[in-house]
Amino acid sequence: MRVTTGRRLGATEHAALQRVLSNDGGRILLVEDHERSGHRMTEALQPLHEVTTERFPQSALLRLGAEDFDVVVVSLSLQGSDGLRLCSQLRSFERTRHVPIIILLEDGGDARLLRGLDMGVNDYLMRPVEEHELLARVMTQIKRKRHSDFLRDQIEESFELAVTDGLTGLHNRRYMEIHLATLVCDAVRTGRELSVLITDIDHFKAVNDTYGHDVGDFVLKSVAERLRRNTRGADLACRMGGEEFLLIMPDTPLSGAYQIGERIRTRIASEAFQTPQGTRIRVTSSVGIATLEGENDTPESILKRADNALYAAKRRGRNRIAS
């Protein structure tokens, strides 16, 4: 995946980066039932960190389901329960998948250490726990977590940007191409129906020429909003470019696509768009629809048929639908 380059950091990103670089303490969950050891570790950690102790894996798990922690320190010598089992549960739940885990081992616990590392434990401490070592290892995990959270957020954000149309917030053509290919494969495999619809604003060049490009942009955003509002949950709306939008409709035969296309066409034509400055602008749109035909059909040919239909609607006088 290509990560956005050359982008300046925004205020929130800057704050997030500051946090990555800071030496602030974190929230530590200590899973320990040995009272004296628990006290000693809490005292060592507490000037900088906020420490919560749980004596049982089950109660630790409940707490981790409800609260965020930066590090979990798990004793592997709990009375009557298995600390490693807790570690493996933490790795399997979405909510706790990325929380750093440090295990506390007795001398001679090599086999358990290997099992722990194998299931994704991040670090370990040997008993008796040396306080400076505890602090250093906890801090390392906190910093590592902040750093990877930051990178994960950045990647998610870059991905959002890469597949979103900046003006309307709809998906862009790149996303549409990936998504349509997947949906066509699914529909062919399962024998279900799939239709697409292209809508293009009529004489949009005249809107720009008459009112200016900014008003043109406003109309595009408003059309996108009407499109979104008249789209069902399973349908995917995207901006193909310019003043042209595509709707992909799974489980929809041509008759259904026709109904939806008519609804979108009338919703766009029936009510003027009013700019914040009070200018009222009416536009119409033409719609072309096409449906999946047989198992040798391809995304490219469905799009081509929808585009031909759109062209036919334009030729017949615009503000209409064709298939």
- So which residues are the catalytic ones? 243
- Rounded CA-CA distance 236/114 in Å is 47
Stretch of residues binding ligand GH3 (CB under 6 A), selected from 82-90, 170-178, 190-198, 208-216: 208-216
- Contacting positions for Mg ion (CB under 5 A): 200-201, 204, 242-244
Choose which of 53, 208, 230, 266 interacts with ligand GH3 (CB under 6 A).
208
Considering only residues 144-183, where is the footprint of ligand GH3 by CB under 6 A? 167
H/E segment holding residue 117: helix 110-118
Q: Which is nearer to ligand GH3, 98 or 203 (CB)?
A: 203
**Contacts with ligand GH3: how many residues (CB under 6 A)?**
16
Cβ at position 305, least distance to ligand GH3 in Å: 18
Stretch of residues binding ligand GH3 (CB under 6 A), selected from 126-134, 137-145, 212-220, 292-300: 212-220
Cβ at position 158, least distance to ligand GH3 in Å: 22
Secondary structure (DSSP) of 207-248: HHHHH-HHHHHHHHHHHHHHHHHTS-TT-EEEEEETTEEEEE
CB neighbour burial string for 28-55, b if at least 16 within 10 angstroms, e if fewer: bbbbbbbeebbeebbebbeebbebebbb
Question: Which listed option, ligand GH3, Mg ion, none, makes contact with residue 213 (CB within 5 to 8 Å by class)?
Answer: ligand GH3
CB neighbour burial string for 71-90, b if at least 16 within 10 angstroms, e if fewer: bbbbbbebeeeebbebbebb
- Residue 124, beta-bridge partner list: 103
**Helix, strand or coil for residue 201?**
strand
**Helix, strand or coil for residue 71?**
strand
Q: Which is nearer to ligand GH3, 74 or 219 (CB)?
A: 219
When asked if residue 200 is in the footprint of ligand GH3 (CB under 6 A), the reply is: yes
Considering only residues 229-248, where is the footprint of ligand GH3 by CB under 6 A? 242-243
Question: Which listed option, ligand GH3, Mg ion, none, makes contact with residue 244 (CB within 5 to 8 Å by class)?
Answer: Mg ion
Q: Which residues bind ligand GH3 (CB under 6 A)?
A: 167, 200-205, 208, 213, 216-217, 220, 242-243, 314, 318
